[in-house]
Amino acid sequence: MSLVIENGWPRSAAWTGGERGELRLGGIGVRELAAEFGTPVYVLDEEEFLARCALWREALPDGEVHYGGKAFLCPEVVRWLDSAGLCLDVCTGGELAVAVAGGMDPARVVFHGNNKSAAELRRAVALGVGCVVVDSFTEIERLTTLAEEAGIRQRVMIRVTPGVSAHTHEFIATGGDDSKFGFSLNAGLAAEAVRRVLAAPALELAGLHSHIGSQITDLGGFALAARRMSAFLLDSEREHGVTIPKLDLGGGLGIVHRPGDPVPPSPAEVVAALREAVPARVRLAVEPGRSIAGPTTVALYEVGTVKDIPGVGRYVSVDGGMSDNPRPAMYGAAYTAVVASRASQAPPREATVVGRHCESGDVLVRDLPLPADVRPGDLLAVPASGAYQRSMASNYNHVTRPPVIAVRDGSARVIVRRETEDDLLRLYT
């Protein structure tokens, strides 16, 4: 029995085996995966990842698809992106280092960030990074100096905040005038940024950029941002007598995390809405991250305790928590989970799935109907775990971070190994 992909599962996810059934991912049962690799563990469906890359590439054959590396990045993923014909967005020197380690041509890397250090920019210039997205007047001056010292002309895009509400959580909304990112269009700062870049001989204005937020499930905000950015591009060209060849309208397309969540538009629908507003001669770029990585991965946990509190409810504790998925604690991200290691005929009973950390807020899933006979040793599977979870994972309480296992056609391999206590101790003097 296949699980419903609209509920955030990769296409290979299926329930097999009848009464002694289990969830299978990439053709491998979760009991086997847990026995070999331990828990917690992120199980990434390689074919699902590549299929989602292909959907974006097919939706925009005449433009550029830049994978948002902050969603999840490791050298093997960089190699997948390269093979799929995608470019890569990075926003720190560390992400740039991973891109280089994975073999990505720096000319296909776009470097973001609202506070890039001089050292990060110097390295980007030296490596030949294809484009730097400038985010402040200070950065324009800093990058101009570094490009002059290197004797090159650095291609840049100007990040513009178009004053568009993305109707998402305030922590992941980035397009409003009060955003820490970019130059405000409404306040006239974006127009001044264009003037300063054009006045800098060591910089080449390759395009304009905007990004309105994350986990967006309707086209309205995308379309409005595209119209405002297109109008600003045309106004800038008329004012300065130049041609601005590219408009990067960012990413932010949401995914389904649990049953009942709104199903977002497809990549083709997003691109069509953007294309309607963008002049045909302008090269369009997009930056999907979550919509590629998110549904590819299932997090597996082992149940350690089940605690019933009269008048309160049931707590099901697992061997991970906010160190491998801080998103519920940070901004209320909602997930679902299933008992994945066995079938159960028991009626559902509402439970709260909690982690092992010394925080009352260490909650992974609230108000979740689980089989009433859930017990220690059961494996819980949490879909839609591919974006931001491993990227944001920490060593809180000195817990080691889980591995990432790629599955495909009945085989599994480690692409990010599990941390050990030796890894933690190695940092101390």
Which residues contribute to the annotated binding site for substrate? Answer: 290, 327, 331, 359, 388
Catalytic residue of the set 53, 74, 87, 358: 358
Closest listed residue to residue 373, CA positions, set 319, 311, 314: 314
Kindly report the three-state secondary structure assignment for every residue of 356-424. Answer: CCCCCCCEEEEEEEEECCCCCCCEEEECCCCCCHHHHCCCHHHCCCCCEEEEECCEEEEEECCCCHHHH
Q: Which residues of 399-427 are buried (b: 16+ CB within 10 A; e: fewer)?
A: bbbbbbbbbbeeebeebbebeeeeeeeee
21 touches 14 (CB < 8 A)? no
Which positions make up the binding site for pyridoxal 5'-phosphate? 252, 287-290, 388
Which positions make up the binding site? 252, 287-290, 327, 331, 359, 388
Q: How far apart are CA 364 and CA 246, in angstroms?
A: 41
Mark whether 87 is an active-site residue. Answer: no
Kind and range of the H or E element at 35? Answer: helix 30-37
Half-sphere exposure of 304 (CA within 13 A, CB side): 13
Kind and range of the H or E element at 353? Answer: strand 348-354
Tokens 């960030």 belong to residue: 113
SS3 category, 135: coil
Q: Which residues have a catalytic role annotated?
A: 358
